[in-house]
């Protein structure tokens, strides 16, 4: 199913998994080969920007919560 030799493009779930794994530096060679062979760069760029925005907003929210609880 996750064979990089398939000629099918990666699913949304596979692309999301690849973006998150690449963001944390744990992307496997097999998935990277599948992404470079069958994936569209624009899809990965869009998912990467969305992931980064959600990640930054989550960190911002956590910091605001911690500061509010600390009374600052």
Domain count, the chain: 1
The pLDDT tens digits for 6-65 are 678 899 999 999 999 999 999 888 999 999 999 899 999 999 999 999 999 999 999 999
Tokens of 47: 């998912």
Structural domain range at position 33: 12-70
Q: Rounded distance, CA 53 to CA 59, Å?
A: 10
**pTM for the model:** 0.77
> Residue for token digits 């097999």?
30
* Tokens describing residue 27: 């992307």
Decide if 6 is inside a domain: no
Measured over the CA atoms of residue 23, residue 36, residue 50 and residue 13, the dihedral's sign is: negative
In a domain, 4, yes or no: no
7: which DSSP letter? -
């Amino acid at each position: 199913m996750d064979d990089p030799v398939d000629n099918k493009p990666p699913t949304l779930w596979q692309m999301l998994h690849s973006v998150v794994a690449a963001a944390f530096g744990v992307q496997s060679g097999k998935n990277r080969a599948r992404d470079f062979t069958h994936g569209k760069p624009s899809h990965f760029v869009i998912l990467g920007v969305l992931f980064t925005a959600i990640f930054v907003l989550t960190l911002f929210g956590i910091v605001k919560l911690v500061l509010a609880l600390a009374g600052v």
